[in-house]
Amino acid sequence: MPRVLLALAVLLLIATQSSARPANGEAAPEWELTPLAEPVLRLFTPSSGAFFAQTAQALMRSDDAGDSWQPVSLGPAETILEVDPTNHQVLYAAGPNGIYRTRDDASTWSLILPFSPDVGSIALALAVSPVDPNLVYLATGGGVHHPAESHFVRSRDGGATWQVLENRELALCTASVTILRPHPTSAQRVFRTAGCTAGRTFGTTLSQSTDAADTWTPVFNPEPLAAPLLGYPARLVGGQDGHFYLAVNRDRRLGGSSLFRTDDDGLTWTQVLAYRGGGTPAYTPAGEDPSAPNIWMGGLAYDPANPDHVDVGRQSYPDYFAAADGGGVSESWDGGQTWSDLGRQDIGAVNDLAWGIDGRNLYAATDQGVWRLRQAPLDEGD
């Protein structure tokens, strides 16, 4: 079966499996810490199976829904960038010399893009289209000696060849990419939030390309300077039937975060959740409490089969300079109209949230490790 058809079949399979809301009287599910009990930054749930977690130093893999974990060799590379969302045997990682790829379950790694003046010296983000896994996007930067430098390149053949699309170097700022997300059902569409942040920035724009990154159009916060209270788009989920949720963290000087929802493919956005407080006395908006903890959104998970079901993972910062000291997860079953805490809230600062591919488990990557929340079995809940 051609890979595109296989990917569509898997997506269809996933779309038909909905997360299950506990029935009245049924015991509420609870978080349990898996054996991976160290800070975890990011989760990968490719549709073909396997489950990956990125820690500060390594990539870990579980084949039993988090009951056990094994390290994955990155070969000459150092940092995992992406797992092909359709094929868990294909991984992309960054090393000191460039971008590496494995196609055989991390048995062998190949350098597919050496760093150079045209493509920078560090990787900022890499994303693979779930519709066409040969379509790969890569954002890079100039590293410590050129922090304001950024590049954007694209491969249409799974990393065999690359086309440089953007090169730029600004002044006195640090290039960053917080969102690089291909559309789940449209190969030509991809979303990106990229910027060069410094004291002068209070937010960034979420842009969309409909021509595989040749051109970009703002879809959220088109003029960050004019709307400093909006902030920095941090997490984007959705895409099915025009539904998206977007988590936006305000500048640390202002404090707070917001969740926005669109049901018209990004034409209009509605705020459905807001945390306020934190920031610094010189900047905290009137009516908000600078002494309150600053709550940022670090994880966002969404059920494609039930767009009204969304989960938000939080990070709580006690003051402007401090590291996060807590978090938790909030959940809505009505598209964000009402929210409730999901299970125990002492699971740590949430860096990522992801549903298992069968919709039975929700996973949280926190500064304590990978937590798992088992939902009711599908045949009982649905």
Partner 1 sequence: MTIGVNVDPNHPGAGPSADILKQSGFEGVRLTAKPDAINVQYITDMLAAGLTVVGVVGTGDNQDFVPPDPRVILQIYNEPDAATGTTITAIEYADLFATWSNKPEIRDNSSVQRWTAGFASGVYMYYLDFLEALRSRHPEVPMPDAVAIHPYEQDPDGLRRMAENYWLVGRAVTGAGIPVVATEWFQSVNPDLTAADDVIDPFQHALNDPDPQGVCTVWSSFFAWHDDQSDLPGGITNHAGVCLPEGIRLIAAIGGDSSWCG
In the complex, which residues of this chain contact partner 1 (CB under 8 A)?
143-148, 169-174, 176, 195-202, 204, 223-226, 228, 251-253, 280-283, 320-321
Instruction: Name the minimum Å distance from CB 253 to partner 1.
Output: 6
Q: Give 121 or 155: the residue with its C-beta nearer to partner 1.
A: 121
Shortest distance in whole angstroms from residue 248 CB to partner 1 = 15
The nearest distance, CB 171 to partner 1, in angstroms, is: 5
**Smallest distance, partner 1 to C-beta of residue 74, A:** 24
Of 12 and 226, the one with the shorter C-beta distance to partner 1 is 226
Phi-psi region of 148 (alpha: psi -120 to 50; beta: other; left: phi over 0): alpha
Please give the Cα distance from 379 to 51 (Å, whole number). Answer: 23
Contact 307, 326 (CB under 8 A): no
CB closer to partner 1, 201 vs 306: 201
DSSP annotation string for 230-260: T-EEEEEEE-GGG-EEEEEEPPTTT--EEEE
Residue the block writes with tokens 């569409």: 189
* Alpha carbons 335 and 313: distance in angstroms, whole number: 16
- Between 233 and 304, CB nearer to partner 1: 233
Contact predicate 7/86, CB 8 Å: yes
In the complex, the smallest distance separating the C-beta of residue 169 from partner 1, rounded to whole angstroms, is 7
Residue closer to partner 1, measured from CB, 20 or 297: 297
Which residue number, 74 or 125, has a Cβ lying nearer to partner 1?
125
Please check whether residue 128 is in contact with residue 182, taking contact to mean a CB–CB distance below 8 angstroms.
yes
E strand map for 159-265: 163-169, 174-182, 190-197, 206-209, 217-220, 232-238, 244-249, 257-262
Q: Please, what is the minimum distance in Å from the beta carbon of residue 197 to partner 1?
A: 4
Residue 50 to residue 337: CA distance in whole angstroms: 34
